[in-house]
Structure 1
């Protein structure tokens, strides 16, 4: 746990803050992919006003802050303490938004049926054994709740190996869309879907996007 926290702190130190305004002139927005101003928006999550939303691995809170401006009641967790500090400093004037420093499986185990929507964008879903994580996600979702996440496509089916150069203590789980659908169905989620979003022109790598319901 301590090694993973330290690894993610090192990773966070090298991250460039998201710009203040996107190409459409918006000050908040949701970005599922690794490319700016690309891919689908928050409509994948269904109605948000008044919903209880949790983001796993929220980083500096940019995606979650956007959902809060749409009327959702949002909680973001991240294992790196510095990320919480950055998120609170940047989004302190946004209501309905709170951040905590927490490891995903520990947090989920303490909040049964608390959330209507759960999302993770290049977050802990990619870096946690699904055999452990998925039952906890389902347990923390309210009946009918939506679970959605994204990360880079698998380089090989079922690959499990070291991840980021800055985070050698962290292991990554890579699965194809078909494998994720099977894993979610086995964990008793309903209507699981998975697809690879094509990259923008000039880029080679797409983004895996997965959704399911409790």
Structure 2
């Protein structure tokens, strides 16, 4: 038995103190599991407009908006969407949409300089469905960037995960894993150029690193 993506993020995403905005913003824009580690928002190449796929409680989108980037965050979880609206509703040039990212990308007429995902929707969505939609919503020269866990060697494509542990109630959800070279091929196949895909080593090399990917739409669109 599987559960919906919305139910997963409603139920299993960590809770937080919604009043402590300064502490959250003080961690900066981090693509990895650790604060102030690896690239920051500069990895997006200074966009004027940005779209976050799977924005959760909205801290990355809010951080960009406070830097002057007109930012939209999309999330499928009513719980996370509600948190984001409560926490950052007063931030100019920032809005949050409650929708499946695929539906939003297919329906919107807006285009963006950057579309990104931090350990979120790009990991939990079939790239064959998501990547062409992202490509269509990026401006010429626009950036698609995302981070997630690296693949386990020899285990690629859709991978099922039991969300309640091996002794919990039934319920599973899929995530997609590929090597950096595989991501390079996938993104180039959909018309992206200048693909960079690498695993960022953890502060302790014995710990799990982060797969970080960036690709660019050709300047001519």
Same fold by TM-score greater than 0.5 = yes
- Within 5 A, what are the aligned runs for 1:192-207? 192-201=195-204, 204-207=207-210
Normalised TM-score (structure 1): 0.89
**Stretch moving more, 93-102 or 154-163:** 154-163
State the Cα deviation string for residues 124-177 of structure 1 (Å, max 9, x = none). 111111111111000111111110000011113424221362594421110111
Show structure 2 runs of 5+ residues with no match: 165-169
Runs of at least 4 residues off by over 3 Å: 14-22, 25-28, 166-169
- Contact 2:6–2:77 (CA<8 Å) still a contact in 1? yes
Aligned-pair RMSD on alpha carbons? 2.3
Count how many residue pairs are aligned between Structure 1 and Structure 2: 209
Q: 2:55 aligns with which of 42, 48, 58?
A: 58
Q: Provide the secondary structure at the position in 2 that maps to 1:170.
A: strand
Which blocks of at least 5 consecutive residues in structure 1 are unaligned? Answer: none
CA contact (8 A) 1:177 1:196 kept: yes
Query: 1:36 maps to which residue?
Result: 35
Contact 1:113-1:139 at 8 Å conserved across structures: no
Q: Which residue of 1 aligns with 2:81?
A: 84
1:165 aligns with 2:163: yes
| Shift, 1:39, TM fit | 1.4
Distance in 1 between the 2:193 and 2:205 partners?
Answer: 36
| Superposition deviation, residue 113 in structure 1 | 5.6
For the residue of structure 2 that corresponds to 1:162, the secondary structure is strand
In 1: Cα distance, 2:36 partner to 2:12 partner: 23
